[in-house]
Amino acid sequence: MKLADCQALDTLPYFQRDGEGKLILAEGVAERIIDSHAHVGLNYLFARPVDQDREDEEPLTFFPARGNPVDMDVYSAVCFTKENERIAQRETVKQAYTTRGFAATHTAKNLVNEMKRMRVENAVILAVDFPLGALSRTSRHFLAAARKYPQLIPFISVHAYDLFMERKVRALAAAGGKGMKIHPPMQLVRANNRRVMKLLKLCGELKLPCLFHTGASDIAPKFQQDLPAIKHFWEPVERFPEVTFIFGHAGIHYYKEAIELTKKHPNVYLETSGQPPARIREMIDAGIPDRVLFGSDWPYYMVALPLAKVLLATEGLPDVRHKILYGNARGLLDRYGIAAGGPG
């Protein structure tokens, strides 16, 4: 199924337009949703914090909401035009030195507004810490955003090679961090790295579920391609059965390997952002529908795009749809005692 762009999602029966012409989830499609993978504005080095209260008519997602064709049957990042791929890469790098441009629109207020339109009750927001830990303050900013917007559930991030890693993790968890985000390509580590293993042991002690970026994005540099491969996850998953591993993007193009690992280890969940309906259906048919989670990866994508793919994958399966969009995440959060505010 090919669409002119993300705005054409309103041609699907799941969406309609509100009085302002904005895309919304149609009534009766799904009444309760939890987004297990989202972000607000990141900032590093010399960039000032994003103004989390800023409100924009249309936030600038890395994958454009307009003017970029979408093939619903492939991993979403495959669809970037060459020009939009260059823009997305440029805007990602800019977060290191300025909050002008796309990043300025990646605010908690804009995310919450989009959540309301898509009937998303809560969203897990994921910080990402860079190797220069002293110049990376995203976890503190995400915690502050979640205090103001209780619909948001903050996962912290501390780089495995931070000299004060254990002290920082304990302090951020005590300040309200509900889980840990580890991003092998951006942090230049593998899941079975000895320092990552130390970090995972600490997460087990503090009862912090861990969401990893897994799989190589189609627009990632070649030197990053091996870092998030599923083959590196077998050892830590087996060594730390007390730690919940959430595979962000369900391994991207390594999704079959991710399914295999998940079937063998009950402490692994697959999060679906970017994945096409056929692959999501493979996860369901593999007998693990209780460990598949919806995620949007906002502001990489607008929430409606990955949501539409889950809805297509679960057509005719209302119980499975409820599990993936809400029930599985709610059960996981409840198991960790993670409460969150309503949609407000």
Predicted confidence pLDDT, tens digits, the chain (344 residues): 999 999 999 999 999 999 999 999 999 999 899 999 999 988 776 667 889 999 999 999 999 999 999 999 999 999 999 999 999 999 988 877 777 889 999 999 999 999 999 999 999 999 998 765 555 678 999 999 999 999 999 999 999 999 999 999 999 999 999 999 999 998 999 999 999 999 999 999 999 999 999 998 776 667 777 999 999 999 999 999 999 999 999 999 999 999 999 999 999 999 999 999 999 999 999 999 999 999 999 999 999 999 999 999 999 999 999 999 999 999 999 999 998 765 54
For CA atoms 48, 54, 58, 63, the dihedral sign is positive
Residue 249 lies in a domain: yes
Q: How far is Cα 225 from Cα 188, in angstroms, rounded to an integer?
A: 10
Q: How far is Cα 127 from Cα 125, in angstroms, rounded to an integer?
A: 7
Give the model's pLDDT for residue 76: 96
Residue 190 lies in a domain: yes
Picking from 151, 118, 111, the residue whose alpha carbon sits closest to that of residue 22 is 118
DSSP 325: I
Give the model's pLDDT for residue 72: 98
Residue 342 lies in a domain: no
Domain hosting residue 314, numbered range: 2-335
Q: Which tokens sit at 114?
A: 């989009």
User: At residue 38, what are phi and psi to the nearest 5 degrees?
Assistant: -145, 170
> Within the chain, how many helices (H) and strands (E) appear?
12, 12
Residue 216 lies in a domain: yes
What's the structural domain count of the chain? 1
Q: Which CATH number goes with the domain that contains 212?
A: 3.20.20.140
Q: E strands of 197-326, at which residues?
A: 210-213, 245-248, 268-271, 292-293
Give the model's pLDDT for residue 135: 59
Residue 341 lies in a domain: no
Amino acid identity of residue 146, one-letter, is A
Residue 343 lies in a domain: no
Residue 129 lies in a domain: yes
